[in-house]
Amino acid sequence: MVASVQTIPQMNLPLSCGAGVAYARAMDPAPEDSALMLRYKDGDIAAFETLYRRHNDPLYRYLLRLCRHPDNADDIFQEVWGKIIKAADRYRPTAKFTTFLYKVAHNCFIDHIRRNKRHTHPGNIEPENQARSRVISRISWPSEASLENAWKSHCRTCPTNNAMYSSCTRRPD
């Protein structure tokens, strides 16, 4: 069966007719990310701008999910795109560009964690209630009776008040 080309009378747009169904011609597909990265490697700045526009929002959301803090996500986001720019000369399209991009992003996140390891505590990484319950379960709390005895002992020897237990206001050190 041979497809014929007709036009829409009101707009003079070409239609392709095949098997009795008319449909508009397919638009030119958007260039693949790998091709854009190779064009950027050859000096095409517009290709990089297209890559950036295409991937900046999903990449930022990915980093925000990992970091859980917008300032850290912003820092890592900038670092990722800087590394992508520096790696343009070495880029080879052996996998999808998004695989390359998100691997760089993940590695930058891991580097960020390693750099800031001493500044974090478990409450920043885990949900607050889980971290708190794990810390509380590890503490051996003194009994109420031993605390009361320590307080009475302190009050008896307190230099600020030797008279009565109830009026002693200084806590033991």
Which pTM value belongs to this model?
0.53
**What kind and span of H or E run contains 166?**
none
Residues in Cβ contact with 96 at an 8 Å cutoff, skipping those fewer than 6 apart = 33, 34
Cα gap 152→85, rounded to integer Å? 69
The CATH class of the 33-118 domain is mainly alpha
Predicted local distance difference test score (pLDDT) of residue 131: 53
pLDDT digits (tens, 9 = 90+) for 91-116: 888 889 999 999 999 999 999 999 98
pLDDT digits (tens, 9 = 90+) for 37-80: 999 999 999 999 999 999 999 999 999 999 999 999 999 999 99
b/e per residue 11-39 (b: at least 16 CB within 10 A): eeeeeeeeeeeeeeeeeeeeeebbebbbb
Distances (CA, A) of 15 to 4, 9, 10, 20, 89: 8, 11, 13, 12, 43
